[in-house]
Amino acid sequence: MARFPIVDADSIKKLTLDAEILLESLFPIMRSITGSGVRQTHKILHGFIPLVTTEVASGTKVLDWVIPEEWWIKDAKLVGPNNVDIINLSTNNLHVVNYSTGVDCEIDLEDLQSHLHSIPELPNAIPYLTSYYSKSWGFCLTHEQRIKLIPGKYHAFINAGHKNGSLTYSVGELHGTTDKIVLFSTYTCHPQMANNELSGPIVSCLAYKLIEEYLPKRKFNYRFLFIPETIGSITYLSRHGDELKHNLLAGYVLTCIGDSGPYTLKRSRIGNSLADRAAKVVWKDYEAKNECKVLNYFPMGSDERQYCSPGFNLPVAVLSRSIYGSYSHYHTSLDDLSFVSVDEIVNAALRILKLAFVLENNSYPVSLSQYGEPNFSSRGLQSPLGAKRDRDLEVMSIKWILNLADGEHDLIEISELSGIDPVIILNTTEKLVSNHLLELKTH
Amino acid letter, 147: I
Q: Which is nearer to its own copies, 18 or 335 (CB)?
A: 335
Residue-by-residue DSSP string for 281-321: HHTHHHHHTT-EEEE---S-SSTHHHHTSTTT---EEEEES
Taking only Cα atoms into account, the Rg of the chain, rounded to an integer number of angstroms, comes to: 25
Q: Is 394 left (phi over 0), alpha (psi -120 to 50) or beta?
A: alpha
Pick out residues in 333-362 that bind its own copies (CB under 8 A).
none
Q: Specify the stretch interacting with its own copies by CB under 8 A; choose among 107-115, 205-213, 227-235, 356-364.
A: 227-235
Q: How far is the CB of 13 from its own copies (least distance, A)?
A: 36
Q: Of the two residues 362 and 367, which places its CB atom closer to its own copies in the complex? A: 367
According to CB under 8 A, which one of 7, 396, 423, 433 is a site residue for its own copies? 396
The letter for the amino acid at 353 is L
Contact flag: residue 385 with its own copies (CB under 8 A): yes
The answer to whether the beta carbons of residues 282 and 422 sit under 8 Å apart is: yes
CA 298 to chain centre: 17
Judged by CB under 8 A, does residue 386 bind its own copies?
Answer: yes
CB of 163 to its own copies, least distance (A): 20
DSSP 329-368: TTTBTTSSGGG--HHHHHHHHHHHHHHHHHHHH--EEEES
* CA dist., res. 35 & res. 15, Å (int): 29
331 binds its own copies (CB under 8 A): yes
If binding is defined by CB under 8 A, does position 60 make contact with its own copies? no
- Phi, psi for 230 (deg, rounded to 5): 65, -75
Binding flag, residue 132, its own copies (CB under 8 A)? yes
Stretch that binds its own copies, among 79-87, 273-281, 282-290, 402-410 (CB under 8 A): 402-410
Among 377, 434, 436, 441, binds its own copies (CB under 8 A): 377
Residue 40 binds its own copies, judged by CB under 8 A? no
Query: Least CB distance from residue 98 to its own copies, whole Å?
Result: 8
Q: Which of 110, 164, 290, 310 binds its own copies (CB under 8 A)?
A: 310
269 binds its own copies (CB under 8 A): yes
Beta strand pairing call for 316-320 and 248-254: parallel
Among 406, 434, 436, 441, binds its own copies (CB under 8 A): 406
Q: CB nearer to its own copies: give 151 or 384.
A: 384
Of 107, 34, 43, which Cα lies nearest the Cα of 66?
34
What is the closest distance, in whole angstroms, from the C-beta atom of residue 242 to its own copies in the complex?
10
Indicate the helix (H) or strand (E) that contains 275: helix 274-282
Cross-strand partners of 160 = 73
- Which positions touch its own copies (CB under 8 A)? 63-65, 97-98, 117, 119, 127-134, 136, 230, 233-234, 237-238, 241, 269, 298-300, 305-306, 308-313, 325, 330-332, 367, 369-375, 377-378, 384-389, 391, 396, 399-400, 402-406, 418
